[in-house]
Amino acid sequence: MGKLKKKYTEGASRTYTTRNRALKKLQLSLADFRRLCILKGIYPVEPRSAKRANRGSTKPTTFYYTQDVKLLSSEPLIAKFRQHKIFLRRLQHALGKKDFTRAKNLNSHRPEYTLNHLVIERYPSFTDALRDLDDALCMVFLFASMPSVKRVPKQGIEECK
């Protein structure tokens, strides 16, 4: 007799992962996870059988491909997000103690990160970037035709025109 197969090692439960499981695996907050997904261009998916993907539960949840979460785990931006959180915590600590010289010093050494590698990853050649340019132009036109409201200042709309 062969070895018994473990549950959830293949099929839909292996292909998809819930958002909470992804958050635990990546050790990120929901806001950071959303930011990272937007930057990397990873979107939630709807599995064929949500019950199978959710390991028998029928509770409505958000699913992502397990491969996408695995891809996110090696992203260098995660470390930069953590450095930024540490910076904010130190800054709040200094301001709480009214140590303004330390706060000013911390603020001058604010951690910075670039998104160059994401742009190169998404658009490996110049022609790929040109193909996607129409989306940005449509967005600018949309803002230019919008009336100014509290959330969108008049100056921003004028720049779009």
Q: Tally the domains of the chain.
A: 3
Same domain, yes or no: 57 and 94: no
Task: Encode the chain (161 residues) as per-residue pLDDT tens digits.
Answer: 688 988 888 888 889 999 999 999 999 999 999 999 999 999 999 988 888 888 888 888 999 999 999 999 999 999 999 999 999 999 999 999 999 999 999 999 999 988 899 888 888 888 888 888 877 788 777 777 777 666 777 777 677 66
Going from the C-alpha of 79 to that of each of 8, 27, 32, the distances in angstroms are: 30, 11, 11
Same domain, yes or no: 134 and 117: no
Same domain, yes or no: 96 and 106: yes
For residue 1, being part of any structural domain is answered with no
Q: What is the pTM of this model?
A: 0.77
Domain that holds residue 16: 12-75
For residue 4, being part of any structural domain is answered with no
Contact assessment for residue 59 and residue 100, using Cβ atoms and an 8 Å cutoff = no
